[in-house]
């Protein structure tokens, strides 16, 4: 069974009547994702693409108790309360698409989720997809072919590009997880890599990282210590980024040597993890590793 999302995933969309919520609800439904309800305070009783809308999460769960995942498209100023509402109602997986959530809010909601045993993906994530099973996110599903390669990525765009190049190499994806590009996220790259390492449907793992944070160095440590056993291939974006300047994502910023491109590459190579020079090299490296 694919990790985190699969055929048994039943989804609640928070912010379903907004432009992004409505648009991506339609795309997820077209992909085959089972969306049971939406929530927008004050708009209960309506429908979006045939999905019933409720005023509160508790009302949605009362009508659809099988819901086990929430995806959040709520604007940044309201996202904190929306996520807390799902945590309070015991939804075990929450995918937070919203970006620009204040860092203090992210810290609080992630800490509370951890306390309650809830997994948060994001914020500022493209979501998660298990090809052919379920898509809970905004990624273009056509780029993700079914297979045995797990992907964990901080960049959504690079995740799509890597998935497509894996497909062109004749391989496919078991589950792809977008950790999110903010400095503070729920499920981070090392945690996601460990989950994929334990998945029977995943034969190898691709790490799509970038400068900032020490996630890639932690993955290298896990690999050296044998806590990640499956083959790992990595790509790190930001080779030419100047120190002290944010590049793209809020989390892609380096001060000193910690989280630098050089630090990450050195750690990965010391752990004998092949590092691709470009995203287009990943498919070729995977084919060589899996053949050997």
Catalytic residues: 249
Residue 155 C-beta-side C-alpha neighbours within 13 Å: 23
Please give the Cα distance from 206 to 244 (Å, whole number).
Answer: 27
Q: Which residues have CB under 8 Å from 163's CB, separation 6+?
A: 143, 144, 145, 151, 173, 176
Q: Give whole-number Cα distances, 148 to 33, 69, 223, in Å.
A: 20, 23, 19
Question: Which residues are CB-neighbours of 3 under 8 A, at least 6 positions away?
Answer: 130, 150, 174, 175, 195, 196, 198, 199, 202
Token pair 């004749």: residue? 170
Contact 109/80 with Cβ under 8 angstroms? yes
Using the Cα atoms of residue 58, residue 59, residue 62 and residue 66 in order, give the sign of their dihedral: negative
Whole-number Å distance between alpha carbons of 187 and 180: 9
DSSP string, 192-216: HHHHHHT-TT--EEEEEEESSSSHH
> Are the C-beta atoms of 254 and 211 separated by less than 8 Å?
yes
């Amino acid at each position: 069974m694919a990790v985190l999302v699969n055929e048994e995933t039943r989804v609640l969309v928070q912010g379903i009547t907004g432009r992004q919520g409505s648009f991506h609800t339609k795309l997820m439904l077209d992909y085959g994702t089972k969306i049971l309800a939406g929530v927008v305070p004050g708009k209960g009783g309506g429908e979006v693409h045939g999905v019933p809308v409720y005023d509160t999460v508790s009302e949605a769960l009362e009508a659809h108790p099988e819901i086990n995942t929430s995806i959040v498209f709520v604007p940044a100023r309201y996202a904190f309360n929306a996520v807390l509402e799902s945590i309070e109602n015991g939804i075990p997986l929450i995918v937070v698409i919203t970006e620009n959530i204040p860092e203090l809010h992210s810290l609080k909601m992630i800490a509370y989720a951890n306390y309650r045993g809830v997994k948060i993906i994001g914020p500022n994530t493209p979501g998660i997809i298990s090809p052919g099973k379920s898509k809970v996110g905004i990624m273009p599903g056509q780029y993700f072919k079914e297979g045995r390669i797990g992907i964990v990525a901080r960049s959504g765009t690079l995740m799509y590009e890597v998935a497509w190049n894996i497909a062109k190499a004749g391989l496919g994806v078991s589950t792809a997880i977008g950790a999110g590009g903010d400095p503070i996220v729920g499920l981070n790259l090392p945690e996601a890599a460990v989950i994929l390492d334990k998945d029977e449907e995943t034969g190898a793992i691709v790490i799509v990282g970038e400068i900032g944070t020490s996630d890639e160095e932690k993955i290298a440590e896990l690999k050296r210590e044998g806590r990640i056993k499956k083959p790992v291939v990595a790509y790190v974006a930001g080779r030419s980024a100047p120190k002290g300047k944010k590049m793209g994502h809020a989390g892609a910023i380096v001060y000193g040597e910690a989280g630098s491109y050089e630090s990450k590459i050195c750690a990965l190579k010391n752990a004998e993890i092949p590092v691709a020079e470009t995203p287009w090299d990943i498919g070729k490296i995977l084919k060589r590793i899996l053949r050997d």
